[in-house]
Every structure is written in C-alpha cells, then in structure tokens.
Amino acid sequence: MGGSLARKDRTRAALLLAPAYLWLTLAVFLPLSAMAFFSLLSDVPFGDREWHVTLDNYRAFLETGTYAALLWKSVKLGVTVTALSVLAGFPCALVLAKVIRGRAREAMFLLVILPFWSNSLVRIFSWAIVLRGNGVLSAAIDAVLPWDVRVNLMFSPTAIVIGLVHSYLPYVILTSYLALQAIDDSLIEAARALGAPRRTILMRIILPLAAPGIVAGAVLIFVPVVGSFMEPRLLGGRLGTYYGTVIEDQFVAVFNWPLGAALSFILLAVVLAILAAASPALRRALR
Amino acid sequence: MAEVRVEGLTKTYGTARALDAVTLAFPDGGFFGLLGPSGSGKTTLLRAIAGFVEPEAGRVLIGDAPVENVPVEAREIGMVFQSYALFPNMTVAQNVAFGLEVRKVPAAERARRVAEVLELVRLGPYGARKPHELSGGQRQRVAMARAIVTRPRVLLLDEPLSALDKALRVEMQIELKRIQREVGITTIFVTHDQEEALTLSDRIGILRDGRLVREGPPRAVYDDPRDAFTARFLGEANLFSGVLEPGGLRLGDGVLVAGARTATVAVRPENLRISLTEPPAPIRLRARLRQRIFAGAMGTCVLDWQGETLKAVGRDRDFADLPAEGEVWLSWDAADTIPLEG
C-alpha cells in the first residue's frame, strides 16, 4: 500500500495526523523530556537551590537494594493482578461475546464498564469500608456462618490485589470481548461438526484466536499496576509500600524530584525490558 | 454411509414458520439438492439435520436411528459452510487433521489419511499453507477435504459454491460431483441457484415458506413441475391462463391451446418458436417482440402478449432474421405444454 502516496494524499495524511501528534508531543514528549532532565540533576532547579548534572539518582537505585526489592515486589503484584484479571475476565468476555444476545448483553456490559465511571478514590474508599474489620464483608460472612467470624482484610496485600483487580478487570474483558466477537460462529460450529468437545474447541480454536485480545488486555493492566500507588497506599496501609508509592513520595512528600524522576525512568526501562523479553512468546501467541 | 430421513420436521422462529411438517427421505449415497428462495427454510432444514437447530416437532433419522438426543459432535456428520469456516490459526493439513485428532486416530494413520484426502481434492502440495494463502476455490476444497476425511455418515453442504465467481463455480461443481461420486457419501446440499441444483443433484427438493412443495429427480421435476411456483423457480416458464373447453384451453385472445387440461399451463422459453410468417403449428399466437438480448451462443427474446411478458430462448442465430421489435408469431408443440395445478 503506502510508499507511493501521491503528493496530495500525503498532504492530506499529514493534516489528519497532525492534531494527534502535536498533542502527543506536547502531552507526552515534552513532560517526559523534562523528567529525563530532572533525573540527571542533583536537586530541583527551583529558586536559588544549587544543582548540577549527575548520575547519582540512578546510582542510588543500584547501590541501595531497597528500590530493586520494591520494584520486584511491584512486578510480582503486576503479575498477580494481571493473572487474576485474565482468569476472571476472559470467561466473562466469552459468555458476553458468544452466549448472551440482545438487551441482556447491553445490561451486562454496563455492569462491566461501571468501574470506569466512578471516581477511583471513591472506588478505593468503598473497598476500605467493605474490607475493614467489622466492615461490610465481615458482617456479611458473620451473618451467614453460624459461628463467630471476624474478617479483616484491610491493610493487607489481599486488599491491594482486590482493589486493583476491580479497577483493571474491565480492560481485559473489553479487549478479550472484541477479539472473541471477531471469531466467526461458523468456526465453532465447524469444530463441533468435526466432533470436537467444548474443551478442545476452547483450547484449539477460541483461545488461539482470542490471544491477541487477551495479550493486549494483559499489557494494558500490567504496565499501570507495576507503577500503581493509590491502591497500595490506601488499601495496604503500613504494608502498602511499593515501587509506585516510593516514586510518589519523592514528588509529594520528600520533594526529591530528581530521584523520583530517575526511579520512574528505571521503571519504564524495566517494563519495556519485560515486554521485550516476552515478545517472542507473545508474537507466537498472536500468530 | 446412511440414508437420512426427516419426518414432520417443524421449527418456528417467533411467528415465522421456518419448517412446516417437512417429511423427506435422502437416499443412501445420493446427492440431494435442497432448493428454494431465501427464507424458504432450506438452511434451517440442513442445520436441523446437523443438529444445530432443535426442531419443535418431528424427528431426524440417520441410518434408521433417531438422532434427537445425539449432539452435533456425536452425529458423525461432515459439514461444509458457506464461509468454509477454515480455522485460520491452522495450516491446511492441520485443518484437515482436526477431526481425526479429535477421534484420537494415531499420528501415522492420520498423516496418511490427510495426504490421501488432499490428493483426492487435488491439493496435495498445499498441506503446509495457511487458509489465507489460498484462493477461494482451494479453500472450498480444503473445507470439503476436512468434512470427508472423518468418513462421516452424511455430508451437509450449505451453499458451498456461492462465494465463488461464475467460472470457478462451474469448475467446482464438476469437482464436487467427482469427489462425491468417488467417496459415495450421502450428500445433502443447499442452494438457491437452480442451475447448480440441476447440475449436481440426483434428486432435488423444492422448499417454499418452510414447506416441501416438490421432490424428485431434477429432470422429472423440470419436465413436470406441477405448480406455477416450481415451474418458475426451477428454470424459467411462460404461464398462460384461460378458460377450459372440451378441446383445450381458450386463452384471452381466443387462441386455443389444444389438448390442455388445466386452467393454467406453462411453456419453457426454449420450446417457444418465433417466426415472421404464420407457422403451420396448431398452437400459435400473435405477440409483440420487445427486445432481443444477445448472450453469446444463446439469445433471449422478450415479448409482450396480452399485457404479459414472455420469454423465448434459443441459439442467437435462430433469431438473426427477426427485427429489433415488432409483431411476430409465437408457436409451440402440444407436447411442450406443461399442465399446472391451481
């Protein structure tokens, strides 16, 4: 196709691309450049503070094991949340795409998208009400079970995972749904006519063909969860120190922007490295 | 291989009757064409035999055994879909091997049978290709190979050639017939293309509004369609209506169709003769030639008679003497008068 666009077409294409790319330049490239610059400074260049260019902020990550340990903790959190979201989201998308039709599907979709519409802080605090000791969850379980039960999930890794899965589940449902929707029903009928039981159809036809959607959803979840700070802080309490919360501290509490910026770039590099390392496997899944 | 029968099959969608008490036998080893306009229920009938559609009443028997409690995956059918439904994530050989794998056929035998059937559909060297690398005709043959490699009891084809262009379609009709004859499998085939049905089938069934209106060998149905719908749907037909008299049928313009015994009769376009001078044939009438259509070897004349449009088909050179339009004589032999009921 491309390559041989006529001059007029090229002008038109440039005009159509311009708004998005100008915006991306302003909204992503400029702040990112500024951050890259900050990450190389010894102190914030505001007022009459002294500053010079240095690699100390990056060196800090390598010298103190704490940051690396926290990053590892955050990556594990990302893997857990992504895995749980895919496990819960894919079956849901499968039913929405292939079983439910008409009005019922619209209603079910609304329920899936609902978390997007509520403020994330409200969402997290409502989980706090549910999960804390003597909270909604505890009272509900106590009411059902005959013996005395106390459940306090608040300020635990479990609470963080619950909150994050709730926030990011819609992504994997939506991307999987789109991929499943694109699978022609006659493929499934053809497999049935050939004698394939449901399990075989799922493993050999549906999963391979829906893989691009599942992978897209997983990446959409994994990347922000590794850097998340709000859910860990509000639902994790004392245990909620993660890589993301440390970065946030540098900007909000400690006022050490250069270190925060350097840690952010290391996170970006690590996430890109993980995606690059996984890409041969991903590409095989997508083919 | 098995005979397939449906008895009193009924299926409604909302208020629409897709199938209305259809009873029909598909002979063992035969090639049966189900023909009808869209919405006539032919695809519903095919899908009910496959098991994708659950009928409200009636039953399906494959080889004398009722199959209402047998799910699709256990019915031992082969099916070719209109879209071919090849698995895009698998190669041609993997597609064909799928049904054998599901049946746990050992790998060595599987490979042998896949190679054999690909040879049968003349796709021997294409096993390693992906479906998207094949042409429409090749995909159609892969779908065919995949459907027959498991040696099903019955082969169901849902408009298998409709996605192909005309030249390829004719070629694939010949292929399809050859493959079916070599395998000898009971085949049921849905189409809305009457020419395709006539070419391929040993027997045809014509459906209209969910009801079976006619069934039999193609030639018998073509020569004696019995009603106006079948006459017009299977081939083309010129209809003449009038008043019955002892000697025949008196048409509106006073012409007597000698020997006719029904109030409506049909004459096939290829049996109508056109002449400028009054012909000696006993059945003749005056009509107005409106248009001559040249279509290669064959030509079509469109005529007006008593406010009705008639068609005559013949070799184009037979029409060479005719003017572009004007008054002409139409005639046909009494033996070509087709009586129609109702």
Whether the pLDDT of residue A2 is over 70: the answer is no
pLDDT tens-digit readout, B249-259: 888 777 777 77
Taking the alpha carbons at both ends of chain B, their separation in whole angstroms is: 39
How near does any CA of chain A get to the CA of B270, in Å? Answer: 41
Closest CA in chain B for residue A208: B89
CB atoms A189 and B98 under 8 Å? no
pLDDT band at A180 (very low <50, low <70, confident <90, very high): very high
CB atoms A189 and B83 under 8 Å? no
Whether the pLDDT of residue A3 is over 70: the answer is no
Whether the pLDDT of residue B41 is over 70: the answer is yes
On chain A, the residues whose CB falls within 8 A of the CB of B150 are 194-195
Whether the pLDDT of residue B194 is over 90: the answer is no
Minimum-distance CB partner of A195 among B82, B86, B150 = B150
What is the 3-state composition of chain B as percent helix, strand, coil, each rounded to the nearest 5?
30, 35, 35
Find the range with the poorest average confidence among A178-182, A238-242, B79-83, B186-190: A238-242
Q: Taking every pair of C-alpha atoms in chain A, what is the biggest distance, in angstroms? A: 79
Whether the pLDDT of residue B317 is over 80: the answer is no
Q: What pLDDT is attached to residue A287?
A: 60
Q: What pLDDT is attached to residue B320?
A: 77
Given a contact cutoff of 8 angstroms between Cβ atoms, the answer to whether B13 and B163 are in contact is no
Cα distance between residue B75 and residue B4, in whole Å: 12
Over residues A42-48, mean pLDDT: 79
Cα distance between residue B145 and residue B152, in whole Å: 12
A-to-B residue pairs, Cβ atoms closer than 8 angstroms: 63
pLDDT tens-digit readout, B53-98: 999 999 999 988 999 889 999 999 999 999 999 999 999 999 999 9
Cα distance between residue A241 and residue A70, in whole Å: 8
Closest CA in chain A for residue B80: A190
Domains and CATH numbers, chain B: 4-230 (3.40.50.300), 236-340 (2.40.50.100)
Q: What pLDDT is attached to residue A16?
A: 93
- A interface residues, B as partner, C-beta within 8 Å: 184, 186-187, 189-197, 200, 204-205, 208-209, 287
Whether the pLDDT of residue A1 is over 70: the answer is no
How near does any CA of chain A get to the CA of B182, in Å? Answer: 21
The SS3 assignment for B53 reads coil
**Which one, of B268, B176, B208, lies nearest residue B35 by Cα?**
B208
Q: Is the dihedral of CA A68, A72, A74, A78 positive or negative?
A: positive
- B interface residues, A as partner, C-beta within 8 Å: 50, 52, 71-79, 81-83, 85-89, 98-99, 102-103, 146-147, 150, 156
**Mean pLDDT for all residues in chain B:** 88
Whether the pLDDT of residue A47 is over 80: the answer is no
- Proportion of chain A above pLDDT 90, given as a percent: 45
The pTM (predicted TM-score) of the whole model is 0.82
Q: Can you list the alpha helix ranges (DSSP code H) found in B87-227?
A: 92-102, 107-120, 136-148, 166-183, 194-200, 218-223
Given the structure tokens 């690909």, which residue do they identify? B118
**Mean pLDDT for all residues in chain A:** 88
CATH number of the structural domain A65-286: 1.10.3720.10
pLDDT tens-digit readout, B210-219: 999 999 999 9
pLDDT tens-digit readout, A124-142: 888 888 888 778 888 888 8
Instruction: Write b or e for each residue in B103-128: b if 16 or more Cβ atoms lie within 10 A of its Cβ, otherwise e.
Output: eebeeeebeebbeebbebbebeebbe
Backbone angles phi, psi at B326, to 5 degrees: 145, 175
Cα distance between residue B176 and residue B153, in whole Å: 17
* All structural domains of chain A with their residue ranges: 1-27, 65-286
Q: What ipTM was predicted for this assembly?
A: 0.83
Whether the pLDDT of residue B233 is over 50: the answer is yes
